[in-house]
Amino acid sequence: VSRHQILESLDEGIMLFGPNYNLLEINQAGYKLLKRWMSYLDEEIIIGQKVDQLFTDERILKGVYQHLSTSFEWKVEIAGEYIYLQVNIVPIGYYGRDIMLVVLTDITEKKLIENRLYTLAHYDSLTNICNRHSFIEKYNAMAEHKKFPISFLILDIDHFKQFNDQYGHIVGDQVLKEFAVALTEFFKPAKN
């Protein structure tokens, strides 16, 4: 099995930059990732491009130029939508000065799932306002940073069970949604 076959079988974008910070090699997955936000790229002329011609993110440039081993998540906007990439930069070769390996892994699906799970864990699915868990988490964060004074307001919709029994849960749910919107609008944080 050749090195080329191995690189092309990977889903991760693999890029090798030489001592002059020019692109020596890129696999098809890497080319497709770069092409998503740089549609003008041509497969025939991408080899030889300098790292700063392909990337503007300071963390990537610093990692490659300073021969640093680093790893981070990178959020890239493409046509109003975001993709999330895990970036790993590793110096390889003699004393880490010959070649810099840049690996890009598309983690967009994972981030969308994480964001969805966070929302489900922190917000009420009907009203989309913070739930008890989120409230306690936010209170603890404020108390830790001594952001006081804090005011508490406890509200109850009187006889709501009777309302649900009389008009049905669908109408009751709509009332709760509208009530949550009204609360959210009324208690918007003050702008500084």
Q: Per residue of the chain (192 residues), what is the pLDDT tens digit? A: 777 788 878 889 999 999 999 999 999 999 999 988 888 888 888 999 999 999 999 999 999 999 999 999 999 988 889 999 999 999 997 665 689 999 999 999 999 999 999 999 999 989 988 888 888 888 888 888 877 677 777 888 888 899 889 999 999 999 999 999 998 888 877 665
Return the closest-CA partner of residue 51 out of 41, 61, 63: 61
- Regarding pTM above 0.95, the answer is no
Sign of CA dihedral 115, 116, 122, 127: positive
Sign of CA dihedral 74, 51, 48, 89: negative
Contacts (Cβ under 8 Å, ≥6 apart) of 154: none
Peptide bond preceding 189 in cis form (omega within 30 of 0): no
How deeply is 98 buried, as exposed, middle or buried, from its count of CB atoms within 10 A (0-12, 13-18, 19+)? middle
